[in-house]
Structure 1
Amino acid sequence: MSTPVIEDGVVEPLTGLRRTAARRMVQAWAAPVFHVTVEVDMTAALRTKQIESTATVTDAILRASARALVEVPQVNAHVGDESVTRFERANVGVAVDSPKGLVVPVVHDIGAAGLAEISRARADVVGRARAGALTRDDVTGGTFTVSNLGMMGVTRFDAILNVPQAAILAVGATVQRFVHREDAGLWAPIAEFTLTADHRALDGATAARFVGVLRRELESPSP
C-alpha cells in the first residue's frame, strides 16, 4: 500500500533554537534514563513571599534543588560518551517558554545563595529570555535543569534530559490532597517532583537521596 500524499501541509524547517533542541532531544532519547518521583508538602514553599517579598515558589524550588546538588554532588554532573564530569558549582537552568521556543537560561552558582539573591538572578535571566535578549553566557554552563509545568495544570510528567546534564527535575502542579499525619488526616498542598536521571552517571539510591534532600529543603527549609 502506498503512502497517501498530503498536499496542503505547510513546511516549517527547523532553524535556530528549535533545530538545536531537536538535535539534543535525539541525543537525550538515546540515554539510558530512569525516573524517580516524590510527593512534597508545599505548605512551607507557598509561604515564600512571607520570607522574601520578591521571591516566588519557583525560587524556593531553585534553592532546594541547588542545596540538594551540593549535598548529593553526584547529580551535579555532565555525562560524556566514556566519562562523567562532576562540578562544585550549582548552575541551575530554568526551562522557559519564549517567543523563540523553549530556552533554558541558567541561574549561576546558587549552591549557597539565599532567596533574595536567587530571586533577583532568576527574574533577570527569565525576563531576558522572554524578551529574546539572552546572551551566550546565559544559556551555557548549566549543570542541572528544572522544568516546571505546574502553573499550566500538569500534575506529573517526565522531563527529557538537557544533555549533557546527568539529570533534570520535572515539577507538577500543587493540588490539595488528603494525607495522614501522626494518626490523623488533613488536607495539604501536595506536588509531585520527578527526577529523570542518566543511569550512566547515577544509580537509583543516589537519585533517591537527591529527591529526599529536595523534599526536606522544601518542607523544612534550612536557613
Structure 2
Amino acid sequence: VDNGVKWVNLPCDFPPYRRVHAFARRWRVTGLLIELHDRLRDKVRQKEGRSPDPTAAIVDSQSLRAATNIPRSTSGWDGGKKVGGRKRHLVVDCLGLVLAVAVTAASVQDRDAAIPLLERLRTMYFSIRLVWADGGYAGRLVDWAAEKLQLTLEIVKRTDDTSGFVVLPRRWVVERTLSWLMRSRRLVRDYETLPAMHEAMVLWFMTMLMSSRLAGRRPGPFSRPTPRAG
C-alpha cells in the first residue's frame, strides 16, 4: 500500500504472494478489514476527546487515472477534471477519518454515487444528522437525503467574488484526507482490477495512518541519535 509494489513482487520475507493475496481478499470479503479499521477509528476519536459515534460528516470525490489493466466496464471519463479512469468517493468525520468509501467509474456523477454512499452511511452510523458537501451535490439530492434518510445535506459553496485558492469551511477536512491518500503510491493511480479492492486499499492506508497516530511519533530506522552532553 505504501510503496505500490505488485503482489508478485512482495519482499522475500513475506509468505508466498498468492497466500498473502488470499488473506487480504478474505479479510475484505468477510468484513474483518472494515472491523479493524472502524475499531481503530473509534480509538482515535476517543484519544481526541470525541465520542466514538460521529454526528456530522463531509463528503467529496477524487478522480484518478487508471492503469491499462482496468476493465472498461468499471472506468470512464471525468469531463470536468479531464481525467480518464475511476473516481473514489469518501465520507469522513470532522477529524478527517474515513466513515465510508466507494469507487466508481470516473464518469459517474457525484450526486449519483452519493445515493448508495449516504444510504450505507445512514445504516452504519445512525447518529449522523448533518453532512457537508460542495456544489456538485446540490439539487434534488438535498431533498432526497432529508426525506429518505433524515439527513441534512448542507452545501458549502464558494462566493461569487472569490478568486484563487481559498480554504472553505468544513470542506477542507475531506480535501485534506484526499491529500493523505495521495501519499500512498498504490493510491496515486488505480491499479486494481476490482473497485472493491481499491476501496480495501483505502482502508488499509487509513489503518496504517491511525495506527501510527495511536502509537505516537517514533524515530525512524535511519534517524540520527541525539548527541549526549559531555
The TM-score by the shorter chain falls in which range?
under 0.3
User: Where is the strand percentage greater, Structure 1 or Structure 2?
Assistant: 1
In the superposition, the TM-score normalised over structure 1's length comes to 0.26
Larger RCO, structure (CA 8 Å, separation 6 or more)? 1
In the superposition, the TM-score normalised over structure 2's length comes to 0.26
User: Where is the helix percentage greater, Structure 1 or Structure 2?
Assistant: 2
